Chain A
């Protein structure tokens, strides 16, 4: 088990390294960089003092170096003008657009992103487990079709539209709060019970919106898996021996069907994180989404790069967790290495 975990962890680190290179390459695809664009603009306006500052920053953040060298400096594997100060040393770089270190710009957004995605993940499991089970047990009934229709609608509606509509009607009929992740009066305040309550109330709409598409897919998969299991002879035997209907489903078939359900976190997380970026732009949540959009539009490369990397790391860690859970659940995987 330990060996399996170690191997899995190492693979993740290697993947993360490749992803970081890929991300760095992608954010440097647009011609020029933030500072050279700004210098050109300042030069056109004839402002000498600001040009000097921009030139200084350009040197400071080694934007005058070749791309591969920039990458390693960003990573912290090669000394920059001030020695080693890259991601590995915990220095996330400088945001040109906000004129602040990336760490300060993002601040709370990092853990709020995790919170939102975790909430959506929980929502998916809490909703799809009972619905999928019911749909499979009552396959072919109106309840099954009803669940299928809801699932299809969730699959087909673009996230952002659902967000707008839920936001509007939630506010009108249920008095749910609009936008943001907490009441403005709590911003910057230390954590308290009232603040937590406010955050939870604000989380309702984003969680549902981000979760719907995943829930639909999850319900369909669980239903198919469980249907396969329910048709097997051992279920018939259980019925013949007089096991109660609930026990007959929950005791063995559901547990067997749950396996792919857990493994699916790997597929689910990337789409979840994608969805949360989009939805948080629409709902103006203080997560990474809006910051990423601004950073990309203004070529604020260190900010954009770090956000992309963080988001990818989030999915990679999620996949790692799903693999570990799977290994705990399924001895075939745990002992697979020993043949």
Chain B
């Protein structure tokens, strides 16, 4: 204790200053003195935001996932710079070429990152190309170089790349596909569509889910029962067949960008019931609170009450369910494109790439063509871990 017990010993003798024998603390009052409630929980004094951050950072896997995802999404705007080739550049001399390893030492001598040139040799027995490395000629990779020309965001013409193939050589980090396109570059370009499809989809799902769930929970009555029935119907629909049917309805004549937007909308259209249900049940209990009555009495409109007073109360829940819904949408896009009803070439997404890895020949002879499955799995896992970590962290008082 901060106080010395001997100083404020109650004096039971009546005195001039204390005629009624009441206990009086003789110590002078200091408003700045710290109040010690004697608990061993210093975290109780912390602002909620700080608590959440602290708990989140304890979840190592979630932090790693968050960093990984942040890195990927940072790359999305700059894919043209990162990819050494364009997504649709074909190299007729390298069909189904295996990955070229990056080497540092040539015959025991350090010469920096380089690749060995490969040459296609026809294998007439198996009817496929075999590739032989020419170990005598190391070709140095170029960094921060000018390579293939591209239009940055379709606006600025440029030819700057982070890394380029050697002069009159090739650099296929992950090999090439059936048409001789660089798999690594396609992966990088594919990330742009595959990663954003989930974001747009979740935005649509959030808008529909929060509006309908908010209305159902706030107004109750017939609005509630209508929304409830709608939720039940949509939840009982098998997602993928309906996605298939809807995306089959997207006209083939549309531009790739329009198709992409439409597919994200379709993915979002079936996702909202879970969210709407959560919002509704939460609102049902919250709207009985006094602060809602107060807002009503002041004359706030329902939309304002829902938006300003009710929704912020369970923002955390919404963030979590969003981060857990995005991977489902990424997998959905992959599945649709895989079946040829989602994004279509020349658009490049991970699903479109996997569409080409559909047969057993690829699995057996050219496994690198299916390398898009690695980022798909990593991203889905990362979103799952992130969601789990957020869910644990968002409820800091448990």
CB distance from A220 to the nearest CB of B (A): 10
CB neighbours (8 Å) of A155 from chain B are: 380-381, 384
Chain B CB within 8 A of A274 CB? yes
Interface residue stretch chosen among A77-85, A91-99, A311-319? A311-319
Contact between chains at B373 and A158 (CB < 8 Å):
yes
Contact between chains at B376 and A270 (CB < 8 Å):
no
Chain B CB within 8 A of A164 CB? yes
Q: Mark A123-144, 1 if CB is under 8 A from B, else 0.
A: 0000000000000000000000
CB neighbours (8 Å) of A160 from chain B are: 335, 338, 354
Contact between chains at A156 and B377 (CB < 8 Å):
yes
CB distance from B355 to the nearest CB of A (A): 10
Tell which of B233, B239, B384 touches A22, judged by Cβ atoms closer than 8 Å. B233
CB neighbours (8 Å) of B377 from chain A are: 153, 156-158
CB neighbours (8 Å) of B251 from chain A are: 30-31
Contact between chains at B360 and A274 (CB < 8 Å):
no
Residues B328-365 near A (CB distance < 8 A): 331, 334-335, 338-341, 354, 357-358, 360, 363-364
Contact between chains at A293 and B339 (CB < 8 Å):
yes
Taking A156-B327, A270-B236, A277-B238 as contacts, is the C-beta distance between A29 and B244 under 8 angstroms? Answer: no
Chain A CB within 8 A of B246 CB? yes
Bound: A15/B237 CA distance, A: 10
Contact between chains at A156 and B384 (CB < 8 Å):
yes
Q: Mark B309-333, 1 if CB is under 8 A from A, else 0.
A: 0000000000000000001000100
CB distance from A2 to the nearest CB of B (A): 22
Taking A156-B377, A165-B363 as contacts, is the C-beta distance between A277 and B370 under 8 angstroms? Answer: no
Contact between chains at A271 and B239 (CB < 8 Å):
yes
Residue of B236, B242, B377 with most chain A CB atoms under a 10 A cut-off? B236
B379's closest neighbor in chain A, by CB?
A156
Taking A15-B233, A168-B363 as contacts, is the C-beta distance between A277 and B244 under 8 angstroms? Answer: yes
CB neighbours (8 Å) of A164 from chain B are: 357-358, 360, 363
Chain A CB within 8 A of B240 CB? yes
Chain A CB within 8 A of B7 CB? no
Chain B CB within 8 A of A278 CB? yes
Tell which of B233, B249, B338, B373 touches A19, judged by Cβ atoms closer than 8 Å. B233
CB distance from B236 to the nearest CB of A (A): 5
Tell which of B238, B240, B242 touches A26, judged by Cβ atoms closer than 8 Å. B242
Chain B, interface SS category: helix
Contact between chains at B240 and A275 (CB < 8 Å):
yes
Chain B CB within 8 A of A27 CB? yes
Tell which of A168, A304, A315 touches B360, judged by Cβ atoms closer than 8 Å. A168
CB neighbours (8 Å) of B244 from chain A are: 277, 292-293, 296
Residue of B237, B363, B384 with most chain A CB atoms under a 10 A cut-off? B237
Bound: A153/B381 CA distance, A: 8
Contact between chains at B335 and A159 (CB < 8 Å):
yes
Chain A CB within 8 A of B248 CB? yes
Bound: A23/B245 CA distance, A: 9
Tell which of A30, A156, A308 touches B242, judged by Cβ atoms closer than 8 Å. A308
Contact between chains at B335 and A30 (CB < 8 Å):
no
Taking A156-B384, A164-B363 as contacts, is the C-beta distance between A19 and B237 under 8 angstroms? Answer: yes
Contact between chains at A296 and B248 (CB < 8 Å):
yes
Contact between chains at B236 and A308 (CB < 8 Å):
no
Chain B CB within 8 A of A196 CB? no
Taking A158-B338, A277-B238 as contacts, is the C-beta distance between A168 and B233 under 8 angstroms? Answer: no
Q: Mark A240-273, 1 if CB is under 8 A from B, else 0.
A: 0000000000000000000000000010001101
Chain B CB within 8 A of A121 CB? no
CB distance from A81 to the nearest CB of B (A): 26
CB neighbours (8 Å) of A271 from chain B are: 238-239
CB distance from B344 to the nearest CB of A (A): 12
Tell which of A156, A168, A315, A319 touches B364, judged by Cβ atoms closer than 8 Å. A168
Bound: A152/B385 CA distance, A: 9
CB distance from A264 to the nearest CB of B (A): 13
Contact between chains at B339 and A26 (CB < 8 Å):
no
Beyond A160-B335, A277-B241, 12 extra complex contacts between A and B, CB < 8 Å:
A152-B384, A155-B384, A157-B373, A160-B354, A164-B360, A270-B235, A275-B240, A277-B240, A277-B244, A278-B335, A307-B241, A312-B238
A-B contact pairs, 16 of them (CB 8 A): A18-B233, A22-B233, A30-B249, A156-B380, A156-B381, A158-B376, A160-B338, A160-B354, A161-B354, A273-B238, A278-B338, A292-B244, A297-B340, A297-B341, A312-B237, A312-B238
Q: Which 5 A-B pairs have the closest CB atoms?
A: A274-B240, A29-B249, A296-B248, A156-B380, A273-B238
